Amino acid sequence: MKKKIIGTLVTILVLMAGFFGVRALFFTPSSPSYLTVPVTREDIEELVLATGALEPIKQVNVGAQVNGQLKSLKVKLGDRVKKGDLLAEVDPVLQENDLRNAEASLESVKAQKRAQQAQLEQYELAYERQKQMIQAEASSQAELEAAQAQVKSARAGLDSLDAQIHQATIRVDTARANLGYTRIIAPMDGEVIALITQEGQTVVSAQSAPTILILADLDTMTVKAQISEADVVRIRPGLPVYFTILGVPNKKRHSTLRTVEPAPDTITSSGSMTSSASSTTAIYYNGLFDVENTDHVLRTFMTAQVSIVLGTAKDVLSIPVTALGDRTRGGYRVRVLVNGAPEERVIKTGLNNNVRVEILEGLVEGDQVIVGEGSKGDQPAAAPRRPIRI
């Protein structure tokens, strides 16, 4: 009996030893594992991204200043013209008639002046006779005064006619200018980018000059980049910029920011200087810069993906932004893997483009910075395979 009890105890001890041995062998506590990235050298740009539209640097709506039928168009869409070239003609019949009427009115007033001058000479002679007769006591004082009044009246009449001649001359000049406006001349060098009015249409300029065509200088384009109100406080004229267009996304075109408009475009549409504090509409300010377009690849109203460069750092130490920890008075906390164990450091940073950040102090090239961690868990047992039924 005693041997049986001892055998049972030995069996229990062997089983317990086997249990703890298997547990120690297959179920050891997992040690933490770390995801790290090395500190490397890269070029970093701190950018403000914006979307813009391309416009010609100079664009003119060429219109008619007179009424009439558009008699002929001398250009077609896409033509390049020089300043002073004839673009179109409005039927000049009405303006020619106005000029002839104005010239006839001028001649009529001049004829009246010549008649008034002749009458003035007659009154002056009569006045001289009255003065001689009054000395010889052959006439009365009243007749002398009447002759003098006639002279003054005739001279005043001449002054009035001189004013009328001046007015008539102005009417002639206006009619001659209106006749000249029937020939529409290019005000600048450029390209015809739109034809608004076709031959045979009647143009009426009573209220405003109707547009016949649009002329633009496409050798230089202006980009209007819409900058959000959150970013515009960091933007100033003179910053370098570059952009791409959708058709050629891999080619960067470089320029310099010329100006930032002081008010958003909405100020012209709303017609008011006030805005609602509860408005949910995003506010954007236009940043303008120019770019050469001698090859004319850039076209009006193309979309531009604009990058405004706030700062550039070449060949500097950098890490991903995701590796940054809490901010402290001296910089940021990061964890570095040293001999398999994490070590906390405080680093100073420079440029930050929201993807990578420049390292000024606290790390050296090759340091392994921890960006995440996990644990090596027990491998799950494979699920039993279901029998295949045929």
Q: pLDDT value at position 141?
A: 84
Burial track 145-181 (b if 16+ CB lie within 10 A, e otherwise): eebeebbeebeebbeebeebbeebbebbeebeebbeb
CATH number of 262's domain: 2.40.30.170
Q: pLDDT value at position 139?
A: 76
- The answer to whether residue 249 sits within a structural domain is yes
355 and 299 inside one domain = yes
Token pair for 370: 């921890």
- What are the pLDDT digits (tens) for 95-142? 999 999 999 999 999 999 999 999 888 888 888 888 888 787 777 888
105 and 156 inside one domain = yes
- The answer to whether residue 241 sits within a structural domain is yes
- The answer to whether residue 175 sits within a structural domain is yes
Q: What is the DSSP string of 260-292?
A: E-SS-THHHHH--S---TT-----EEEEEEEEE
173 and 98 inside one domain = yes
- The answer to whether residue 201 sits within a structural domain is no
- What are the pLDDT digits (tens) for 185-197? 999 999 999 999 9
How many percent of the chain have pLDDT more than 70? 84
State which residues form the domain around 45: 33-58+217-268+283-374
253 and 305 inside one domain = yes
- The answer to whether residue 250 sits within a structural domain is yes
User: Structural domain tally of the chain?
Assistant: 2
- The answer to whether residue 224 sits within a structural domain is yes
| Domain's final residue, options 160, 181, 202 | 181
